[in-house]
Copies of this chain bind each other. A is one copy, B any other.
């Protein structure tokens, strides 16, 4: 069952937004993000954490719950203060998100961020993360985050494997 077929059915719009509505809303409010955190337990010393989120004032928690129901994944949690977020972190769930936006392309330049995010997801598929893979991902994340260089790329062009230094 594809998302589109189900969600576009007539008379159901109030309960479940259409695919096009979701694309428009995410063009405005969605965020594709790739964090790379130091994680000494991992082979390469760093952990890649892709995340999709949509943040709203708590008065619009209802619409975030509609996203959970529309995608069939994700959670609604507090962002900070009076803000709530629809958040997807599990890789298998993020795969569904990626599939959805491949089928239903974003219309703003957020599409470029999504494409980079999908590239990171592809690099994470099916194999343990290598040093080279991590460098590739870190460079994509750098491009996505506009000017904020990932810390794992900080000191040189190679990844620092030893934890503890800063």
CA of A22 to CA of B23, assembled, Å: 9
Q: Is the CB of A60 within 8 A of B109?
A: yes
Interface residue A163 (Cβ < 8 Å from any Cβ of B): no
Q: Please report which residues of chain A, range 10-39, place their CB below 8 angstroms from some CB of chain B when the two chains form the complex.
A: 14, 17-29
- Assign chain A's interface to a size class: 20 to 34
Of all chain B residues, which has the CB nearest A30? B28
Partner of A27, one of B14, B19, B28, B107: B28
A91-109: CB near B (< 8 Å → 1, else 0) gives 0000000000000000111
Q: Is the CB of A107 within 8 A of B28?
A: no
CA of A17 to CA of B22, assembled, Å: 13
Interface residue A123 (Cβ < 8 Å from any Cβ of B): no
Chain B positions within 8 Å of A24 at CB level: 17, 20-28
Of all chain B residues, which has the CB nearest A8? B20
Q: Is the CB of A63 within 8 A of B17?
A: no
Q: Is the CB of B25 within 8 A of A63?
A: no
Partner of A21, one of B14, B59, B107: B107
Chain B positions within 8 Å of A66 at CB level: 107
Pairs A–B under 8 Å by Cβ, sample size 14: A14-B107, A17-B107, A18-B20, A20-B21, A20-B24, A21-B23, A21-B107, A24-B28, A25-B27, A25-B107, A26-B28, A29-B29, A59-B109, A66-B107
